[in-house]
Homo-oligomer: A and B are copies of this chain.
Amino acid sequence: MSTTESLQNVSVTTKANVYFDGKCVSHGLTLADGTKKSVGVILPSTLTFNTGAPEIMEGTSGRCEYKLAGSDTWVASGVGEKFSVPGNSSFEIRVSGEPYSYICHFG
């Protein structure tokens, strides 16, 4: 499936965000219209993230499985696929093998 290989005309924050001892690393982006996104990667692990704003995760390399709060079901998501996470919630994500690169769209 096709994916977003690059994002144009953005401002990138040069300090990396490092979560879970480096199992997740991201860089913040601001688009020309002020929209905030981030690009990041999750290394092989199972992690739980809390959301403030709603998020849409878009895979750009590798694959993951995710489980939303209140669900018992792991769902696979790969390159070019997106999944939505409600605000003020959480989700588990697990990656094995190749790192999972993503774009996180907020709001």
**Contacts A25-B41, A27-B27, A43-B22 given; does A5 touch B10 at CB 8 Å:** no
* Any B CB within 8 A of the CB of A46: no
- For residue A12, which residue of chain B has the nearest CB? B7
Q: How many copies does the complex hold?
A: 2
| Beta-carbon contact of A11 and B10 below 8 Å | yes
**Chain A interface residue number, banded:** 20 to 34
**Contacts A22-B22, A22-B43 given; does A14 touch B4 at CB 8 Å:** yes
| Beta-carbon contact of A11 and B9 below 8 Å | yes
* Any B CB within 8 A of the CB of A86: no
Q: How far is the CA of A18 from the CA of B60 in the complex (A)?
A: 14
Q: How far is the CA of A16 from the CA of B39 in the complex (A)?
A: 8
Residue from B13, B21, B25, B102 in contact with A25 in the complex, judged by beta carbons closer than 8 Å: B25
- For residue A61, which residue of chain B has the nearest CB? B15
| Beta-carbon contact of B11 and A7 below 8 Å | yes
Top 9 A-B pairs, shortest CB-CB distance = A16-B41, A14-B60, A15-B61, A25-B25, A22-B43, A15-B101, A16-B101, A8-B11, A18-B99
